[in-house]
Amino acid sequence: MNRQVAVIGAGITGMTAAGALSELGIDVILLEKEEHTGGHVKNWDRLFPSRRPAKEVLDFTGKSMATGVDIRCGSAVESIGHNKGIFTIRPVKGEPVNAMSVVLATGYDLFDARKKEEYGYGIYDNVITSAELETIFSEGKKLTTHQGTTPQRIGIIHCVGSRDEKVGNLYCSKVCCVTGVKQAIEIREMLPGCEVFSFYMDLRMYDRNFEELYFEAQQKWGVSFIRGRLSECAENPDHSLVLKTEDTLTGRPLKMTVDMMILLVGFVPSPETVRIARMLGLSSGPDGFLLPADEHFHDNTTTIPGLFLAGAVKGPACIVNSMADARATAMQVKSYLNGEMLK
């Protein structure tokens, strides 16, 4: 089947790009390996910093695609190649797709917290990830320990799998800091009797209204912030956890018992991103994320004419930035199809 553009990956980036392309009057097919569109965002309850329901963003983006995007779920890319400006994609099901342009929006995966064995994820009952906490929120469940009790004290651990040469990820995942602050507020909101302590190295409140959310967490919700990176964690016989860190601001080692620990897991390139990039011979940076043709001037294009990169394939990005990048990509694709690419 012939299409003008194929977008690979129906997370928020791919959906936004496909919707924008369709609104520009371009014939677009959206391929998704999962059975549903929405990517990581569909697992999220509310979004930082405004705490808007994630569903609102997905619904809006879904509507933008309603006018004519050919959405194919359950269609992982088996192979992709290009010849004389035509891309041929073979999905695992359905007929092959020929397209004049491809937008790669296969995004990221969350860091596998089991790799930080000293944090006890997958070993101790009451260590969960930020994504799992979000699932609890979005299912409307009450937050309890694995044993069913109401937690009295929770530790939130920043930079799990990010800024850590021991796991090979030197980069900052950008969004975890503010996610931690948002989730700290939401825990306090749900369980007013539960103390929340955030353990951090630096708090990177880089975007609009992030710092204000941090301020609110302290002023309105009484969240405590301890400047020290978690060194190790051990489990007590009652399944509570002992955290060991340095309270660097007093200069002394600190032990603290918590009922639950939330690990703010960072970004890693998704296996699909790595696999498809390999098939196309795209280059990636030392962090494993894909490199655009130029970081300033051609940040959506690649060395292959007609092949575009959008969103978190290029590194950690929040939803707002991913959507903006997707819209920028759509404009670039339109220019390319019109033969008007900027040099």
Partner 1 sequence: MAKNFGYKILPGESIDFDRNDKLIARYLVEHEPSINLCIGCGSCTATCSTGHFTDFNIRRMHTFILRGETKHIKKEIQKCMFCGKCQLVCPRGVNLRNVILTINRAIEHLG
Neighbouring-strand partners of residue 256: 243
Using a 10 angstrom Cβ sphere, with 0-12 exposed, 13-18 middle and 19 or more buried, the burial of residue 286 is exposed
Query: Which lies closer to partner 1 via its Cβ, residue 164 or residue 195?
Result: 164
Residue 265 CB neighbour total at 10 angstroms? 25
Closest approach, Cβ 287 to partner 1, in A, equals 15
> Cα separation of 186 and 179, whole Å?
10
The nearer residue to partner 1, 73 or 256, going by C-beta atoms, is: 256
**CB of 116 or CB of 314, closer to partner 1:** 116
Binding site for partner 1 (CB under 8 A): 118, 159, 163-166, 201-202, 227-232, 244-248, 251-254
User: Measured from the CB of residue 234, what is the shortest distance to partner 1 in angstroms?
Assistant: 12
Contacts of 51 (CB under 8 A, 6+ apart): 182, 185, 186
Which amino acid would we find at residue 142? K
Q: Min. distance of Cβ 266 from partner 1 in angstroms?
A: 12
| CB proximity list for 175: less than 8 A, separation 6 or greater | 48, 267, 316, 317, 318
In whole angstroms, the minimum distance from the beta carbon of 243 to partner 1 comes to: 9
- What minimum distance in Å lies between the beta carbon of 123 and partner 1? 17
For partner 1, the closer CB: 57 or 230: 230
| CA-wise closest residue to 267 among 189, 160, 143 | 160
The Cβ-side half-sphere exposure at 179, using a 13 Å CA radius, reads 25
C-beta of 13 vs 245, nearer to partner 1: 245
Question: What's the CA angle centered on 54, arms 155 and 203, to 5 degrees?
Answer: 35
- In the complex with partner 1, the residue whose CB is nearer, 252 or 296, is 252
Nearest distance, CB of residue 211 and partner 1, angstroms = 20
CB 5 within 8 A of CB 101: yes
